[in-house]
Amino acid sequence: MKLLIINGPNINLLGIREKKIYGNTSYEKFCEDLIGNAKEQSIEVDIVQSNIEGEIINYIHDALGTYDGIVINPGAYTHYSIAIYDAIKAVNIPTIEVHISNIYSREEYRRKSVIAPACIGQISGFGVYGYTLAIIGIKNYLESVNQ
C-alpha cells in the first residue's frame, strides 16, 4: 500500500509557528517520524508540502495511478479551496483530511471545511498524531472495500 501525504501552507514551519497550537516538533522530525509510523503499518508514504494551491492540485492529479490513498492537510485552503475539493473528487482516490489543531475549537472561520465533503473522513485536534490515525484509517478503509 502506498499513500501520498500532502501538506499545505505553513505546515513546513512546524516547530517554529504558534508552538502552543502546533507543537515543538520540527517539520523534518515530523516527516521522519511519520515515515517510521507508516512502515510499522507496512505502508509506504511519500510526503510533499507546498504553500501554493496549484501545486497542491498538481500533487493530487499526479497521485492518480500511483497512490492508493491520500492524507491531506490543506492548511488555510481548507476553508475556501473549491479547486482542491474538485481535484480530490476528480481523481477519486480515498482521501482523509487532517488538521493538527482542533479546527472546531478555534476561530469561527476555521470551523468550515469545503474539502471535507470530498474525503472519506476528517481528523482534527490530535496534533501530528492525527496523520498516523489517518494512515491507519485509510489502511482499514482500503482493506474493507477490497475484501
Determine the Cα–Cα distance for residues 79 and 26; give it in Å rounded to an integer.
25
Is 22 assigned a catalytic role?
A: yes
Is 80 an active-site residue?
no
Which residue among 27, 59, 77, 99 is the active-site one? 99
**Of the listed 22, 27, 59, 77, which one is catalytic?**
22
What is the helix (H) or strand (E) element at residue 37, kind and residue range? helix 27-40
Strand locations in 1-147 (E): 2-7, 44-49, 69-73, 95-99, 121-124
* Cα(45)–Cα(30) distance, integer angstroms: 13
- 147 vs 138: CA distance, rounded Å: 14
Q: 3-state class of 25 per DSSP?
A: coil
**Residues carrying an active site annotation:** 22, 99
